[in-house]
Amino acid sequence: MSAAGTASASGLRIGVPCETKDRERRVALTPAAVHAMSTAGHQVLVQAGAGLGAGFADAEFAAAGAQLLADAEQVWAADLVVKVKEPQPAEYGFFRPGLTLFAYLHLAAEPELTAALAASGIRAYAFETLTDRNGLPLLAPMSEIAGRAAAIVGAAQLSTAAGGSGTLMGGAAGVPPAKVVVIGLGVAGTMAARGLRGLGAHVTGVDVDLHRLYEHHLDGTVDATQSSEAALIGGHVRDADLVIGAALVPGARAPVVVSEEQVASMRPGSVVVDLAIDQGGCVATARPTSLSDPTYLEHGVVHYCVTNVPGQFPRTASAALSAAVAPKLALLAADVVAGRAGTPHEHPALVGARNVDAGVIVHDAVAEVFPDLPAQPAPVPA
């Protein structure tokens, strides 16, 4: 038994630890969500200070029914841990059989984390692969924020102060606007395109989904559309001041859509913001960076490849994430209490989320990335 006690027959101990990734200030649950979980009969254990970066004081969590605990170890002793970013190496030691984890995992780009999860016997559910009829409901809120942020960041990186070419998005009278190429017009790409058009840029949207391009062509999200064909993208990239990467195949490593040669053809001081870096990146020259050290130069092109872009807007991002996560968490907790989690009777609203279970990779797209780890096809939901 942990210091925090054990689960009751109808409720779980749900842990909310402090985030440990570089400059990550989000918290997985707001006090409003803690209140909902407590009211449903669960005991919510919040690590002291977990909400401070997002503007939520410990006293607000306590008033919402949480028990505040000083140490990460006590919080990870819960039955179910819900957090924002993928566990960092210092947290791997908390994994154990019988623990359920619910968080962003992005395993396709995290071989060490994947191996640690599989070796531990934990049951791990990923926000980003949970699928419903509208798409990816737990990825969408952060993609929305990352897309909006990419417009701000991308425009700022083009200033000479940031090492960019000195090109202003909207141009000026007699001077054409900056050219932007957005790779992948899903949630993140669409929000980036809208923001950049709002700043006056000329935006070309690239996608493999022609219907999506048709819709965005009609609704004016972009100035021009381009099918995602290697031979046709090069000219757009060469002429671009800013390339935003936002292509995703859920669970899988991101498709590499922009080659190194194409990046090398861009003007010095042009900018790449690859949001898809959390799944490995859709620009060949992209490699993960941190909020502390967000950019590097390659072929004279500024690369911004931060894996937790929304972490710098924690107030908005925590509220948006918590609102999306809380209803799914309630279903997952109910399944754990009832012994349905990980069985064919798991709640249908959790489809696609379970990635690793008792030493086995159970998500097909993740399993394909790690052929050397034990895998089984995810069961068909009841």
Ligand X SMILES: NC(=O)c1ccc[n+]([C@@H]2O[C@H](COP(=O)([O-])OP(=O)(O)OC[C@H]3O[C@@H](n4cnc5c(N)ncnc54)[C@H](O)[C@@H]3O)[C@@H](O)[C@H]2O)c1
Backbone angle region of 255, left / alpha / beta, with phi > 0 → left and psi within -120 to 50 → alpha: beta
Among 64, 77, 153, 188, binds ligand X (CB under 6 A): 188
Residue 309 in contact with ligand X, rule: CB under 6 A: yes
- Using CB under 6 A as the criterion, what x/- string covers residues 111-140 for binding ligand X? -----------------x------xx--xx
Q: Which lies closer to ligand X via its Cβ, residue 48 or residue 249?
A: 249
Least gap, CB of 201 to ligand X (angstroms)? 19
Least gap, CB of 19 to ligand X (angstroms)? 13
User: In the complex, which residue's CB is closest to ligand X?
Assistant: 186
Catalytic positions are 106, 278
Residue with tokens 């918590």: 322
Residue 204 in contact with ligand X, rule: CB under 6 A: no
Using alpha carbons, list the distances in angstroms from residue 318 to 31, 81, 107, 217, 236.
11, 16, 22, 32, 36
Least gap, CB of 274 to ligand X (angstroms)? 8
Among 69, 142, 151, 353, binds ligand X (CB under 6 A): 142
Q: Do residues 118 and 356 lie in contact, with contact meaning Cβ atoms separated by under 8 Å?
A: yes
Backbone angle region of 5, left / alpha / beta, with phi > 0 → left and psi within -120 to 50 → alpha: left
In angstroms, the first-to-last Cα distance of the chain is 34
Residue with tokens 């909006």: 148
> Is residue 115 within a helix (H) or strand (E), and if so which, with residue range?
helix 111-120
Greatest alpha-carbon pair distance for the chain in Å reads 72
Q: How many CB atoms lie within 10 A of CB 135?
A: 12
Residue 369 in contact with ligand X, rule: CB under 6 A: no
Q: Which lies closer to ligand X via its Cβ, residue 142 or residue 378?
A: 142
Residue 350 in contact with ligand X, rule: CB under 6 A: no
Residue 241 in contact with ligand X, rule: CB under 6 A: no
Q: Which lies closer to ligand X via its Cβ, residue 167 or residue 307?
A: 307
Q: Which stretch binds ligand X (CB under 6 A): 2-10, 31-39, 165-173, 206-214?
A: 206-214
Residue 110 in contact with ligand X, rule: CB under 6 A: no
CB contact burial 166-190 (16+ within 10 A = b; e otherwise): ebbbbeeeeeebbbbbbbbbbbbbb
Residue 325 in contact with ligand X, rule: CB under 6 A: no
User: How many alpha carbons fall within 13 Å on the CB side of residue 380?
Assistant: 0
Residue 247 in contact with ligand X, rule: CB under 6 A: yes
Residue 208 in contact with ligand X, rule: CB under 6 A: yes
Among 43, 143, 285, 295, binds ligand X (CB under 6 A): 143
Q: Which of residues 248-277 bind ligand X (CB under 6 A)?
A: 248-249, 254-255, 257, 275-277
102 forms beta bridges with 82, 125
Residue with tokens 């006590």: 74
- # residues near ligand X by CB under 6 A: 38
Q: How many CB atoms lie within 10 A of CB 341?
A: 22
Q: Do residues 37 and 326 lie in contact, with contact meaning Cβ atoms separated by under 8 Å?
A: yes
3-class SS at 28? Answer: coil
Q: Do residues 147 and 287 lie in contact, with contact meaning Cβ atoms separated by under 8 Å?
A: no
Least gap, CB of 324 to ligand X (angstroms)? 12
Residue 185 in contact with ligand X, rule: CB under 6 A: yes
Q: Which lies closer to ligand X via its Cβ, residue 169 or residue 246?
A: 246
Q: Which lies closer to ligand X via its Cβ, residue 16 or residue 149?
A: 149
* C-alpha span between 133 and 92 (Å, rounded): 33
Would you state the structure tokens that stand for residue 314, as one six-digit string?
């924690």
Residue 222 in contact with ligand X, rule: CB under 6 A: no
Q: How many CB atoms lie within 10 A of CB 39?
A: 10
Residue 22 in contact with ligand X, rule: CB under 6 A: no
Q: Which stretch binds ligand X (CB under 6 A): 164-172, 179-187, 258-266, 289-297?
A: 179-187
Residue 286 in contact with ligand X, rule: CB under 6 A: no
Contacts to ligand X by CB under 6 A: 128, 135-136, 139-140, 142-143, 146, 183-189, 206-209, 212, 228, 246-249, 254-255, 257, 275-279, 306-310
